[in-house]
Structure 1
């Protein structure tokens, strides 16, 4: 009986080409993810990218109110004139300094208070921790306009609760003259109230995030540290912080981005554009673009471009940290 012998192809012979139908199927599988994210990408491009492109274009033109009309003149191209005026203006550098300092204080206070409250919630019984967390989230969910109005009423001259309480305290403790003291004229008291409002509204998010992160850390690590005689600070520094470093990095970047864009709270507290000593970048953008006489959309766009670059720099630094830590592929 004859036997059939299969001859293996030589090593240098090319592999047979896959069938055409199989090639088309693989191509569809490869392009499927891009087709699925295409609607979201198009929506983001229309909602986010196009306004950014317009903002950059306006910053290089003399775009004002007279150019808004359909029959109005075409905005004149002025190259880097807005940026040259901006970078040579001492007022801009003062506003930028105020923005950086206030943002650093707001972010630092929010992170510290939120982390401490999150650790406290982790040590409380579950029912009490849930009750306190729900109460805190009410502050976080309060609209910025409402929270700012409440704090403005608290610090009003003469009839504000804070002034009334300070006026009734002994003079040797807090001094005198609090009945008519105006908290909203000078930068230091106004920024103090602004920081208080922002921290009051922002720390619940940090606390709940830290609490969720602490729930994921095995309790055996803290028990081992306690057996070794480590203090609470050393346990936080050697266990909590390394385990939650990606979470802290994300929250930190989000807080920087949010606090750099603070506008509503300052708008309500300052209540005018007369005192330029209390301007922040977001407030300066609105003043130049909408409240100046006449409104200068080109200069407002140039300031917005500068603030956008600051935010992008913070975001790029965060992405770089995540890549180094292996969180992003």
Structure 2
């Protein structure tokens, strides 16, 4: 009995005594295996992405033309920021930059809105029919840019283009007259209209299918509760769909901005030849300065490419910061 009491008293003293010191923090052990596994991929990305960017910046700081490519030609001369100074003081550059921003905003907005509406429509269709429509749309998305541009150029050709023929046969009170010989590819407004049509036609299927996949992850009970409360389509979208899919919309928006800022093939095919600088975009201005000018100026073309890259990075970083602040990258 005495031993039992002494053990109980000892246990009580132990429980009521000062707390035991905390265990020393364990040093986090760095395991090199994961880093070694991703090292080849990182090296490949550095070679494919980082080195061209470094080369582009280097070219933009040098006088670099075709004579420097000759076997016995001189080395490119360092000229500092001369290309950037000439570029930023050139009124034509600001006109081209303005056109690029306006056309890109229109393409992105129309593509996002139209693709989202089509994605919602596919979600409400029967599964088998929605699948057939989605496959048909993805064929448009998978069409090569050259093929799509040629098809739309044929559609809008003067005299024999389908669009001109249809518009010419409509009543003059609706669309006016003289559409048979109208050339869509001479003036900036008409050319950019066709360009935006081509880009939206090729881009909206990706947005629609992505939104459809996101809608499949939203519980249907939320929409049923919204309908019981009397919420319509707009209220359901603003209160349920958009908040639930906000990270997806942000990612799609960033991708679409990056893709549309770099549009080149469609514009090159539609315009056929660039005699009017009023229809230039930054992507073609790079090509014109770096390859089509006489003589080609690789340094100036690289400087325009650097400005375009900075513009794309600025937009991307801005939206990524918003996503991180809102905790949507987890």
Decide: shared fold, TM above 0.5. yes
Stretches of structure 1 that go unaligned for 5 or more consecutive residues are 1-10
Instruction: Name the counterpart of 2:196.
Output: 195
For 1:279 and 1:41, how far apart are their aligned partners in 2? 36
Instruction: Name the counterpart of 2:74.
Output: 73
Shift of 1:327: 3.2
Shift of 1:70: 3.4
* 1:124 and 2:115 are equivalent in the alignment: no
- CA RMSD for the aligned pairs? 1.7
Instruction: Name the counterpart of 1:231.
Output: 232
Shift of 1:311: 0.8
- 1:82-161 correspondence runs (5 A): 82-161=83-162
For 2:69 and 2:49, how far apart are their aligned partners in 1? 21
Instruction: Name the counterpart of 1:247.
Output: 248
Stretches of structure 2 that go unaligned for 5 or more consecutive residues are 1-19
Name the TM-score, length of structure 2 as normaliser. Answer: 0.91
Classify the secondary structure of the residue corresponding to 1:176.
coil
Instruction: Name the counterpart of 2:10.
Output: none
Instruction: Name the counterpart of 2:59.
Output: 58
Classify the secondary structure of the residue corresponding to 1:212.
helix
Instruction: Name the counterpart of 2:259.
Output: 258
- 1:153-302 correspondence runs (5 A): 153-302=154-303
**Deviation sequence 1:118-143 (CA, Å, 0-9, x none):** 00000000001000000000000000
Name the TM-score, length of structure 1 as normaliser. Answer: 0.91
Shift of 1:317: 1.3
For 1:68 and 1:318, how far apart are their aligned partners in 2? 41
* Equivalent pair of 2:104/2:260 in contact (CA under 8 Å): yes
For 2:237 and 2:63, how far apart are their aligned partners in 1? 54
Instruction: Name the counterpart of 1:5.
Output: none
**Deviation sequence 1:141-196 (CA, Å, 0-9, x none):** 00000000000000001111111111111111111111111000000000000000
Paired residues in the alignment total: 309
Shift of 1:326: 1.8
For 1:163 and 1:54, how far apart are their aligned partners in 2? 46
* Equivalent pair of 2:247/2:329 in contact (CA under 8 Å): no
For 2:160 and 2:232, how far apart are their aligned partners in 1? 47
Shift of 1:64: 0.5
